[in-house]
Amino acid sequence: MTPRRSLTKDMKAIGGRGWLVLSLPLTLFMTIWIFAVGATTAYTDPFHYSVEASVATSESAIVFADVRTEKRVVAMTFDDGPDPRWTPSILDALIESGSTATFFVIGRNVTANPAITRDLAASGMEIANHTQDHVDFHDANLPEQLDQIRNCSRSIKEVGVEEADYFRPPKGVLPFGSVQAFRQEGRPTVLWDVSVERRDESDDEIVERVLASVHPGSIILAHDGGIPNRAKTVRVIPRILKGLSALGYEVVSVSELLDTE
């Protein structure tokens, strides 16, 4: 799939008066959007979304990407699993470091890997919803989006695991008209403000960037499934966890992070 270009990048390319004319309606739109849902997302590189703005930071929020807290605590999250190639190694690293995390699972992967899903839950990890089939919400209407969420929830329940209320849309795609519907479903949407994976970075560069980017209340995104090879993630996660500990951070699940407010 060819990623959508950032609107901001497109307008910067215009330059001069064109940028000034277009920036005014953009600013108005962004202000309305931020106050309406708490956060917005946009591509910042060809492969990853990152959060451009985050203001809603409590459990009652519709959308949040971090939590305002003075405590040195961050939430670690993993998307797209469980996957027998990567999830067990990541779980081992979390257990060894005394950390917890939230796993935003794909329902079909839960059905295919029930034992791994149960191992995650039994180890104190939080299991949350990442849709049944990881569909692009740009290409799905609201009933289809809600079906994806409900079917994932059903898949989690069928393997005997308790599901957290939180939801993360695939690729961070959050259609404006869907936000309130997700909230009415009891699904506060969790985004992120720090992303682990970057295809163009070495292991050392990833670790250095993540440790330099976190702040108290950050929500960190990583993946234990998805693309064919997550070996780089498996390698850097233990180093990131060790580095966070050296900086005085406790690494927890989303629910635990919210409890620190």
Rounded distance between C-alpha atoms, residue 34 and residue 40, angstroms: 7
H helix or E strand, kind and range, residue 156? helix 142-158
Name the H helices within 15-57. 16-37
| List 66, 83, 130, 223, catalytic entry | 223
- Can 79 be counted among the known catalytic residues? yes
Q: How many residues does the chain have?
A: 261
| List 79, 80, 193, 224, catalytic entry | 79
Q: Is residue 258 within 8 Å of residue 67, measured between CB atoms?
A: yes
What region does 203 belong to: left with phi over 0, alpha with psi -120 to 50, or beta? alpha
- Can 134 be counted among the known catalytic residues? no
Contacts of 17 (CB under 8 A, 6+ apart): none
Q: Which amino acid is at 255?
A: S
Q: Which residues are catalytic?
A: 79, 223
